[in-house]
Amino acid sequence: MKRLVKIGEYETGLKNNICDVPGVLVGHVTIMDDVNKTGVTAILPHSGNLFREKVVAASDVFNGFGKSIGLVQLDELGTIETPILLSNALSASKVANSLISYMLKDNKDIGVTTSTVNPLVLECNDGSINQTQNRVITENDVFDAINNASDDFLEGGVGAGTGMKCNGFKGGIGSSSRIIKIKDKEYVLGVLVNSNYGASNGSELIFNGRKLGGLIKDYNLAQEEDKGSIVIVIATNAPLDNRQLKRIAKRAELGVARTGSYGGNGSGDIMVAFSTENKVSHSPNYMEENVIRFSDSYLNTFFRATVDATEEAILNSMLHAKELRSYNGTLYKSLMEYRSLFEDLLEK
C-alpha cells in the first residue's frame, strides 16, 4: 500500500503497518447496514497459543474514560495471554465473553486444573454513528476476526473502526511502522490505532504540523468538545521488559497531541505495548531464566519511533476512511474531501 503521509525521518517497514513486526497478525469483521455500523478487530501478537506462550506487555491509561477489560492483570503480571480485541463500548463485555470461549476451545484446563484466563478487550464509543445499543457483535464475529487474521489488513472505517469519528471526520483503524537501527542490529516497531476523538468540527485538527482547524470553513457539524476516545496498540520485536514497554506506551499520547488533541475529559486514551521477544511460558520447567533486554540508554530511538508512528497511524486512519452517514442521518465526511488544504504535505 502506498504511503500517504511521511511523519519523521525513520524508515517504515514494507507494509507500513503493525504487521511489519514479525509474527503479528490483524483481522477484521465489519458489520454494516442502515443502523448497525460497527465491528471487531483482532490483533494477534503471534499465531500460536497465546495462553501457553504469553508475550511481555504493559499498558498506560492517559485518561480512563473507558470500559476496557483486562488491563489490571496485564499491568500486574506484565503479560498478554489472549488476542487483543477492539470493539465498541457497549459490546466490550460481550466480546470478552466470546474471547473466553475462543480460548477455552484450545485450552480445556483453563479454570479447572490451571489458572483462569485474562481476556484483553479495548473499546471506543461508536454511538455517534452506530446504533450501539443493539450490541450486534456475535461470538461468530469474534471467532472470525481472530481466525481471519493475516499479515496485512485494511485501514479506515473497517472492523472496530467502522463507527468511529476523528476530529469530526470519519475515523477508525490506522497503522504505521518504523525500522529501528541500533549499532549492527535492526528492529521493527509498529502501531495500530482506533481513532475516535477530537472536536466535532475539526477545529483542533493538526495535519503533519499544519493547523487545519481554521481552514475548514464549510464543515456543517455543530461544535462539540474533544471527546470520544482512542486506543493505541504498539508492537515490537525488540527485547524489552514490561517496565520499558510502559515507558514506550506513555509516549504514544504525544503522537495524539501532535494531531491537536489535549486529552479531553470525555476521551478515553488507552495504550498497550507488547514485545514478541522473550515469550513467557504458562508452564515453565525451570526455576530461573536468563533474559536479554535492551539497556535504557537506547530507548530514545523507540520513544521517537512511537511518537512518529502514532501520529502517522492516526492520520492514516482518517485518510483511508470513506464518508459515512450515521444511523440518525448525520454525514461524517472523509478528510480526503479536503485534501486541497494539505495536498502539498502528502507523499507524491
Q: What's the confidence (pLDDT) of residue 210?
A: 96
Q: What's the confidence (pLDDT) of residue 202?
A: 81
pLDDT in tens, 156-174: 999 999 999 999 899 999 9
| DSSP reduced 3-state for 301 | helix
Better-scored residue on pLDDT, 274 or 290: 274
pLDDT in tens, 293-339: 899 999 999 999 999 999 999 999 999 999 999 999 999 999 999 99
- Considering 98, 176, 229, 275, which one is annotated as catalytic? 229
Taking 90 as the threshold, does the pLDDT of residue 66 lie above it? yes
Average pLDDT estimate for 210-225: 76
pTM: 0.97
**CA distances (Å), 14 to each of 8, 11, 53, 129, 151, in order?**
16, 9, 27, 33, 11
Give domain status of residue 315, yes or no: yes
Give domain status of residue 346, yes or no: no
Average pLDDT estimate for 103-129: 97
pLDDT, the chain, mean? 95
Which residue in this structure is represented by grid cell 503480571?
77
Give domain status of residue 41, yes or no: yes
Q: What's the confidence (pLDDT) of residue 218?
A: 67
Q: Which long-range contacts (CB under 8 A, 24 or more apart) does 102-111 make?
A: 102/142, 102/143, 102/146, 103/51, 106/49, 106/51, 107/49, 107/51, 107/52, 110/51
**CA distances (Å), 219 to each of 200, 223, 338, in order?**
10, 10, 10
Q: What is the C-alpha to C-alpha distance for residues 19 and 22, in angstroms, rounded to an integer?
A: 7
- Does the active-site annotation cover 295? no
Taking 70 as the threshold, does the pLDDT of residue 24 lie above it? yes
Q: What's the confidence (pLDDT) of residue 342?
A: 96
Give domain status of residue 23, yes or no: yes
- Considering 177, 267, 275, 334, which one is annotated as catalytic? 267
Share of the chain above pLDDT 90, in %: 87
Taking 90 as the threshold, does the pLDDT of residue 215 lie above it? no
Residue 225 pLDDT level (bands cut at 50, 70, 90): confident
Taking 70 as the threshold, does the pLDDT of residue 113 lie above it? yes
Q: What's the confidence (pLDDT) of residue 219?
A: 66
- Considering 60, 269, 275, 334, which one is annotated as catalytic? 269
Q: What's the confidence (pLDDT) of residue 42?
A: 98
Residue 216 pLDDT level (bands cut at 50, 70, 90): confident
**CA distances (Å), 30 to each of 87, 160, 324, in order?**
11, 7, 14
- Does the active-site annotation cover 229? yes
Give domain status of residue 6, yes or no: no
- The three-point CA angle 249-64-158 to 5° equals 70
Domain encompassing residue 199: 18-283+290-339
| DSSP reduced 3-state for 345 | helix
Residue 226 pLDDT level (bands cut at 50, 70, 90): confident
Give domain status of residue 169, yes or no: yes
pLDDT in tens, 187-214: 999 999 999 998 877 888 999 999 998 8
Q: What grid cell was written down for 285?
A: 520447567
Give domain status of residue 219, yes or no: yes
- How many domains does one find in the chain? 1
Give domain status of residue 2, yes or no: no
Average pLDDT estimate for 112-134: 97
Cβ distance 264 to 226 under 8 Å? yes
- Does the active-site annotation cover 101? no
CATH number for the domain that contains residue 82: 3.60.70.12
Q: Which helix (H) or strand (E) holds 324?
A: strand 324-325
